[in-house]
């Protein structure tokens, strides 16, 4: 009976298989498949980002910044652009076209950044990550390594094995970072010296006499119930050995490199124009932030015009209340007069509600652009899965 039923259903089974086989040929399916493939690729290439986003299976590794790995990621990025270009955009529905356009812009922006030695990662952070300038006062191994450990799960034995693997892998990551900074020095690609003055201190702060005082080993001072008491001394010994024998020497080496060679070699100028191809790099970074084709000069002009407009409105307010002092006097008046400070929780709530009402009215007046912007951001999040 089951055999007859199988043969009766065979045509439908074959039809289903045929549809499944043909599915990748549909532009929408090809687009989604590329999103999935690229997402998996970038998460495995950047394990720290995977950890931060909760992507599984990458918590034991660091990003490989060897020349071969860097070149491999750049090649994959360029192939992603070609692969996306082979998808028929016109055959996609309207939401899919938005996803397509957003993703194409992300990929093409990342490819353009390769000319300035930017990392190939197409998913945007706050600023482009420049491989020849991998450390500054806001980012780099001195901040990123401890931050990654604070983001790592620490609930199971497998989690602790991942933490230990990362502790033991800090040395090669620091060595690769120093090698990139050496390349930057040789190419004249350095941050302004004044912005780097506190970085050696940030690195030095990660070097402590007692490994268990390091935030990188916080998981070995507060234990989850899943880790048996009998296992804790062995895990702690391995962690402290990793810190003492690998992490502390790596950060000591980095500190010495920064103070003896890197800072003396950093540029005096704070202008991006002092960098090789600096004007183009500055324009690229401006577009990264504002996402328009306006030039830096045009954007600067907008800023000057806005300052002029706001100052005129401030002057009108001063005149309307009969204030006769200077601009500095007026700002001091606004910052210090008791009338501009709330006196209790009820007053604070009233002011907050009034501000929210004003903001809500602002968005109602611009409902359609806001709706489009919201849909665009929602689609971008769908692409990034973040």
Condensed to tens digits (0 to 9), the pLDDT of residues 179-228 reads: 999 999 999 999 999 999 999 999 999 999 999 999 999 999 999 999 99
Q: Any idea where the domains of the chain sit in the sequence?
A: 24-116, 141-286, 342-386
Q: Could you give the CA distance from residue 71 to residue 131 in angstroms, rounded to a whole number? A: 12
Query: Using 50, 70 and 90 to split pLDDT, how confident is the model at 140?
Result: very high
* 299-324 tens-digit pLDDT: 999 999 999 999 999 889 888 988 88
Query: By percentage, how much of the chain surpasses pLDDT 70?
Result: 87
Q: Is the pLDDT confidence value at 18 over 70?
A: no
Instruction: Enter the pTM of the model.
Output: 0.78
Query: Using 50, 70 and 90 to split pLDDT, how confident is the model at 73?
Result: very high
Average pLDDT of the chain is 88
pLDDT at position 350 is 85
Which of 93-97, 236-240, 334-338, 366-370 has the weakest average pLDDT?
A: 366-370
Query: Using 50, 70 and 90 to split pLDDT, how confident is the model at 11?
Result: very low
Q: Is the pLDDT confidence value at 364 over 70?
A: no
Q: What residues does 267 pair with on adjacent strands? A: 192
Q: Could you give the CA distance from residue 243 to residue 250 in angstroms, rounded to a whole number? A: 9
Segment 70-89 mean pLDDT: 98
pLDDT at position 366 is 54
Task: Report the alpha-carbon angle 134-136-140, nearest 5.
Answer: 50
């Amino acid at each position: 009976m089951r055999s007859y039923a199988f043969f009766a259903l065979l045509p439908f089974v074959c039809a289903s298989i045929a549809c499944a086989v043909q599915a990748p040929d549909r532009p929408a399916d090809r687009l989604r498949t590329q999103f999935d493939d690229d997402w998996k690729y970038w998460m495995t290439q950047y394990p720290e980002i995977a950890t931060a986003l909760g992507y599984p299976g990458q918590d034991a590794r660091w990003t490989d910044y060897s020349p071969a790995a860097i070149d491999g990621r750049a090649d994959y990025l360029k192939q992603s652009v070609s692969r996306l270009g082979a998808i028929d955009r016109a055959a996609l529905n309207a939401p899919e076209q938005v996803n397509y356009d957003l993703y194409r812009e992300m990929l093409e922006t990342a490819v353009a950044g390769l000319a300035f030695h930017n990392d190939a990662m197409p998913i945007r952070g706050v600023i482009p990550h420049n491989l020849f300038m991998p450390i500054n006062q806001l980012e780099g191994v001195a901040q990123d390594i401890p931050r990654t450990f604070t983001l790592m799960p620490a609930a199971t034995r497998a989690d602790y094995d991942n933490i230990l693997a990362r502790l033991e892998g800090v040395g090669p990551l620091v060595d690769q970072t120093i090698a990139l900074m050496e390349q930057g020095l040789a190419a004249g690609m350095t941050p302004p010296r004044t912005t780097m003055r506190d970085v050696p201190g940030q690195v030095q702060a990660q070097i402590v006499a007692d490994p268990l005082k390091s935030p990188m080993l916080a998981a070995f001072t507060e234990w989850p119930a899943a880790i048996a008491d009998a296992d804790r001394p062995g895990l702690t010994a391995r962690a402290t050995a990793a810190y003492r024998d690998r992490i502390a020497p790596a950060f000591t080496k980095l500190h010495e490199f920064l103070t003896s060679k890197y800072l003396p070699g950093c540029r005096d100028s704070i202008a991006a124009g002092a960098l090789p191809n600096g004007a183009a790099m500055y324009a690229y970074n401006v577009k990264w932030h504002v996402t328009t084709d306006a030039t830096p000069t045009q954007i600067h002009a907008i800023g000057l015009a806005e300052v002029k407009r706001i100052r005129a409105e401030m002057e009108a307010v001063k005149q309307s209340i009969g204030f006769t002092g200077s601009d500095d006097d007026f700002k001091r008046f606004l910052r210090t007069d008791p009338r501009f400070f709330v006196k209790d929780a009820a007053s604070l709530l009233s002011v907050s509600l009034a501000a929210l009402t004003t903001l809500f009215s602002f968005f109602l007046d611009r409902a359609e652009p806001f709706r489009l912007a919201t849909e665009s951001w929602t689609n971008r999040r769908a692409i990034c899965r973040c």
